[in-house]
Amino acid sequence: GIQVEQSPPDLILQEGANSTLRCNFSDSVNNLQWFHQNPWGQLINLFYIPSGTKQNGRLSATTVATERYSLLYISSSQTTDSGVYFCAVRPLYSGGGADGLTFGKGTHLIIQP
């Protein structure tokens, strides 16, 4: 099945810093989503971005589908940005029926005051 690798696995920053999270995937995709998992476990949708660039406030994301990677940018980090960020993809050619999203292991981000 498709492989999803996220880097870095852990990131500790001071409040106000900028960060870039990366997601590499091993095959063509028709769905790519970025999520923030809050301390209670809920996955919060950040971006639905199978290709192109999107921005939402301090967050932006870029997916280069032809090169099989996506980047999530967080600017002017706040302590509330802390948590785990997941990238999830759905392969374009599902073959044996891989309709569900395949998640990476996440990036654990800690923003210190």
Partner 1 sequence: DTGVSQDPRHKITKRGQNVTFRCDPISEHNRLYWYRQTLGQGPEFLTYFQNEAQLEKSRLLSDRFSAERPKGSFSTLEIQRTEQGDSAMYLCASSLGKDVGEAFFGQGTRLTVV
Q: Which residues bind partner 1 (CB under 8 A)?
A: 4, 30-31, 33, 35, 40-43, 45, 48, 50, 86, 88, 90, 97-106
Shortest spacing between CB 40 and partner 1, in angstroms: 7
- Which lies closer to partner 1 via its Cβ, residue 68 or residue 90? 90
- Which lies closer to partner 1 via its Cβ, residue 101 or residue 111? 101
| Cα–Cα–Cα angle for 18, 56, 36, rounded to 5 degrees | 70
Shortest spacing between CB 68 and partner 1, in angstroms: 17
> Residue 15 and residue 75: Cα distance in Å, rounded?
10
Say how many C-beta atoms besides its own lie within 10 A of residue 96's C-beta. 5
Shortest spacing between CB 32 and partner 1, in angstroms: 10
Shortest spacing between CB 103 and partner 1, in angstroms: 3
- Which lies closer to partner 1 via its Cβ, residue 17 or residue 103? 103
3-state secondary structure at position 67: helix
- Whether 79 and 30 have beta carbons less than 8 Å apart is answered as no
In this structure, what is the dihedral angle of CA atoms 101, 13, 73, 24, given to the nearest 10 degrees? -40
